[in-house]
């Protein structure tokens, strides 16, 4: 079924242009007018749809961040000021879908909020940053990385979250939070369980000493270090990258990072997961059988908590 409209007052130059196009396309004037009107409507509808989709992602991003615990809350006006806009109404229009958000503005918002610009602009990938990370098997290098927000800056880290999946393999995930309340999610190949081969045993031996060194450095005044246990469904949700990780982990605190390496805490280990005590004995047996790990443990026990302290004593 089609509808009809009568349009009056069309300018002569527009009619002349339509006649020229109709002749080029071998169409009647009325057919050419229908085609031109349809293309104009489709183009504007597509623009409206794109604007609405970007606005929806901007609002979702803001809701996720403001819904996370212990983070800075943002308003549209504060965002406008932070990205250097002279006034807030234009930015409010971006979030409402009433104005086109320029890519430069979206990039600035992503940088301010610590999220991925490609997701905000194009719905590519995920909102929050996710990376693969293999921890160094040198405990000193591993701890240095854990306590850095990025490869260069060691002063911007606010909190470190070590997450063990409640699975048979016990996969390790890491979340870092900066002093700006930006977050990064890391997926590691490390399994904190007996579901490991020879390579996994070496990694876990180094990780035990990494945790011991992290504890001995006593950086609690500068960086909050927490460990957690998450169900597989919670892990899957976190690894979509579209849910704020601090919302997922808020009620899952556990002290395993302080205990699994510590011989004084053996009586408590199986309370964390079945087989934790046996794993503790197995990994310490491995550490004591490996020259590098055994020497590293002795150095940490002696209070040599920085790598330069070892090098200066050689």
Domain ranges of the chain: 13-122, 129-313
pLDDT confidence tier of residue 168, bands split at 50, 70 and 90: very high
286: part of which helix (H) or strand (E)? helix 276-289
Mean pLDDT of 86-103: 94
Rounded distance, CA 166 to CA 163, Å? 9
Classified by CATH at the fold level, domain 13-122 comes out as 434 Repressor (Amino-terminal Domain) (1.10.260)
Mean of per-residue pLDDT scores for the chain: 90
User: What is the pLDDT, as a whole number, of residue 34?
Assistant: 72
Q: How confident is the model at residue 43 (pLDDT cuts 50, 70, 90)?
A: low
Res 249 pLDDT > 90: yes
On the question of pLDDT at 313 being above 70, the answer is no
Task: Give whole-number Cα distances, 210 to 139, 203, 297, 307, in Å.
Answer: 4, 10, 10, 13
Question: In this predicted structure, what is the pLDDT of residue 27?
Answer: 81
């Amino acid at each position: 079924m089609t509808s009809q409209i009568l349009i009056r007052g069309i300018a002569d130059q527009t009619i002349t242009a339509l006649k020229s196009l109709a002749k080029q396309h071998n169409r009647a004037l009325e057919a050419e007018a229908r085609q031109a009107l349809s293309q104009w409507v489709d183009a504007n509808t597509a623009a409206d749809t794109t604007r609405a989709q970007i606005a929806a992602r901007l609002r979702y991003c803001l809701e996720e961040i403001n819904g996370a615990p212990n983070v800075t809350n943002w308003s549209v006006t504060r965002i406008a000021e932070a990205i250097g806009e002279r006034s807030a109404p234009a930015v409010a229009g971006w979030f409402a879908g009433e104005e086109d958000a320029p890519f430069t503005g979206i990039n600035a918002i992503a940088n301010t909020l610590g999220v991925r610009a490609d997701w905000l602009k194009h719905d590519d990938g995920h909102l929050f940053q996710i990376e693969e990370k293999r921890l160094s098997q040198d405990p000193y290098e591993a701890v240095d990385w854990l306590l850095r927000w990025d490869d260069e800056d060691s002063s911007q880290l606010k909190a470190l979250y070590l997450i063990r999946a409640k699975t048979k393999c016990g996969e390790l995930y890491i979340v870092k939070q900066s002093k700006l309340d930006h977050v990064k999610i890391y997926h590691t190949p490390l399994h904190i369980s007996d579901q490991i081969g020879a390579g996994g045993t070496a990694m876990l031996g180094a990780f035990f000493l990494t945790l011991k060194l992290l504890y001995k450095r006593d950086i609690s005044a500068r960086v909050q270090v927490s460990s957690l246990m998450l169900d597989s469904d919670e892990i899957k949700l976190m690894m979509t990258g579209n849910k704020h990780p601090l919302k997922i982990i808020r009620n899952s605190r556990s002290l395993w990072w302080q205990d699994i390496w510590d011989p004084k805490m053996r009586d408590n280990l199986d309370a964390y997961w079945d087989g934790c005590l046996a794993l503790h004995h197995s990994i310490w047996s491995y550490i004591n059988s490996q020259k590098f790990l055994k020497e590293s443990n002795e150095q940490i026990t002696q209070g040599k908590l920085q790598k330069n302290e070892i090098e200066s004593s050689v």
